[in-house]
Amino acid sequence: MFLGRSQRLKLVCLAALVAGFWIILSVLPAAINGDHAATVLAEGPEHAPDRPATLSFTPGKEMVLRSPNGKLELRMPGNAAAEPLRVDYSPLAPSVSTGMRMVKQFSLEAVAPGRGNAAVRTFATPATLRFTYADEDVRGLDLDSFRFFRLDEKAWQWVPLPTSHDRSQKTFTAQTDHFSIFGGQANSAYSLPATIMNFQTDLHSGTATTVYPFDLPPGPGGFAPKLEMTYSSGVPDGMHNKRDVGSWVGIG
C-alpha cells in the first residue's frame, strides 16, 4: 500500500507521541516513589548530623546527655531533681537572636513520667552545658564574646548565662537551673557597621532596649572592667517636666 507524504508525516508524529507517553509512564512511578539515584557524601565524626536525643534521669546519680554529633553535652547532678525524669534534647534551626550570630540553638525539655509526664522546668541544682566547637563553627567570630543565652518564655527575650571559655579544649561552658530554648551566640570578630545588639522589646510596656558592649584590654592579673552603653526608649516617658534634660550622651 502506498502512503502519501502527509500520511507518512502523521504516522511519524503518532509514533513520537506514543513513545513520549511510554517514557512518561515508565518514569512517573519511580518519581512518585522516590526511587531515584542519590549521591551520599561521606561524613566524618565532626560532620555527623545532629538529631534529637533522650536521657532518663535517676535521682542520686549524675547523668550525662550528649548530642548525636558529640558537640553538646548536658551534665545533670544527682540532686538536680527528687524524681525520675525524661530529658529531651532537640536541635533547632537558628532563629532570631540578640543581634549576635547564632552558633548553636537547641531546646531542653524534662517531664516526670510518674506524674503523667508533667513538665519540669526548674531544678534544685544547676545543670552544666558544654559546647565543643570546631574551627568552622566559630570562624569569623570573637570567641571572647560567646555566651549561652536562655529564652525567657514569658518576656520572650534572651537571657545571657555566665559562660566560660577553655581555648585549649575548645569548649564553652555554662550552668542553668531552668530548661527552655537555648542559643550559643557570639559577635563578629570584625568591626562592621550596625553590629550593635538588636533592640529587644518589652511586650508589656513596649519599651525598646539595646546594649552596646565595649571590649577593654585586660590589666595586670587579667582583670578587665565591664563597660557597655545601654539605651531604653522608656526613659523619656519619665520626663514629665519641660525643664528635664537628658544625660550628656542623649535621652535614653
pLDDT value at residue 224? 73
CB-side neighbour CA atoms (13 Å) of 111:
9
Classify residue 52: in a domain, yes or no.
yes
Classify residue 17: in a domain, yes or no.
no
pLDDT value at residue 41? 30
Residues 70 and 160 in one domain: yes
Residue 87: closest CA among 52, 124, 116, 61 = 52
Residue 71: closest CA among 1, 161, 138 = 138
pLDDT value at residue 14? 56
Q: Which pLDDT tens digits describe the chain residue by residue (252 residues)?
A: 444 555 555 555 555 555 555 555 554 444 444 433 333 333 334 455 789 999 999 999 999 999 999 999 999 999 999 999 999 999 998 876 667 889 999 999 999 999 999 999 999 999 999 999 999 999 999 999 999 999 998 888 899 999 999 999 999 999 999 999 999 999 888 755 444 455 677 777 778 787 777 777 777 776 777 787 777 877 765 555 555 555 555 564
Classify residue 22: in a domain, yes or no.
no
Residues 126 and 225 in one domain: no
| Total of domains in the chain | 2
Complete edge-to-edge strand list for the sheet that includes strand 63-66:
63-66, 72-76, 122-132, 171-178, 163-166
Tell me the pairing of strands 118-120 and 122-132. unpaired
Residues 153 and 204 in one domain: no
Residues 167 and 241 in one domain: no
Residues 166 and 68 in one domain: yes
Residues 220 and 248 in one domain: yes
d(CA 175, CA 158): 15
Residues 56 and 163 in one domain: yes
d(CA 112, CA 13): 71
Classify residue 24: in a domain, yes or no.
no
* CA 8 to chain CA centroid, nearest Å: 66
Residues 206 and 109 in one domain: no
Q: Tell me which of 173, 191, 209 is where a domain ends.
A: 191
Residues 167 and 211 in one domain: no
pLDDT value at residue 34? 42
Rg of the chain over Cα atoms, rounded to whole angstroms, equals: 29
d(CA 210, CA 229): 8
Residues 206 and 185 in one domain: no
Q: Tell me which of 152, 168, 191 is where a domain ends.
A: 191
Per DSSP (E only), the strands in the chain are 53-57, 63-66, 72-76, 85-91, 101-112, 118-120, 122-132, 147-152, 157-161, 163-166, 171-178, 181-186, 200-201, 208-214, 227-232
Classify residue 31: in a domain, yes or no.
no
What number of H helices and E strands is found in the chain? 1, 15
Provide the CATH number for the domain around residue 83.
Answer: 2.60.220.30
pLDDT value at residue 74? 97
Classify residue 154: in a domain, yes or no.
yes
pLDDT value at residue 27? 43
Residues 165 and 248 in one domain: no
Range of the domain at 135: 47-191
Classify residue 225: in a domain, yes or no.
yes
Classify residue 165: in a domain, yes or no.
yes
Q: Tell me which of 151, 168, 191 is where a domain ends.
A: 191
